[in-house]
A = this chain, B = another copy of it.
Amino acid sequence: MKWDALEEEPCSLARTIGVIGDRWSLLILRECFLRTRRFEGFQSALGITRHLLAERLKKLVRQGVLRRIPYQESPKRHEYILTQKGLDLYPVMMALVHWGDTHMVDERGRPLLHEHRKCGKTFDPVMICSECGEPLLAKEVHTHPGPGARSASAKLPPPDKPAKPKTRKQAAA
């Protein structure tokens, strides 16, 4: 698996990782969702080196996650805003935040709370099935190769049956 060819993998997870799966991209995107739009804003919020920041922004623009829009002539200045493709990463961000809220909080509790304007309540994100509306559990999901499948690999089914202990007599324990 090569990093410059991750997008050609017949796996949507690998392809997504090819776009946002490096050390900085998700943090840059966090800042985007926080309404940061300019180079200096990202740099000072994250402490990323200017060199890397320039590289990552270029990559995210190239991938269509951000759009680079001029906001001033002479000197030419641009700002980076989320495209729809970028906005569609919101569930990814929320899933990551929710996992951190669940498993990585210290004794003081969550760094922040989310309020849903529609209902006015503090909520957690829940992932459901688009067809029946039930919450998704790994064990209840089964996968089949789709039209874009390339081989027997590239699936993400749930973990259920234990690995068979091989033909070794010591396989007890």
Contact = CB atoms under 8 A, between A and B. Distances in A.
Nearest to A141: B114
Contacts of A100: 11-16
Contact of A92 (B34, B95, B106): B95
A55 to B, nearest CB: 15
B148 A16 contact: no
A63 to B, nearest CB: 9
Interface in A111-159: 111-119, 121-132, 134, 136-138, 140-150, 153-159
Interface of A: 1, 3, 7, 10-19, 21-23, 26-27, 30, 32-35, 37-38, 45-48, 64, 70-74, 79, 81-82, 85, 87-106, 108-119, 121-132, 134, 136-138, 140-150, 153-161, 163, 165-166, 168, 170-173
A130 B88 CA distance: 19
Contacts of A171: 71-72
A46 B93 CA distance: 25
Given A110-B12, A163-B79, A34 B157 contact: yes
A94 to B, nearest CB: 6
Nearest to A158: B33
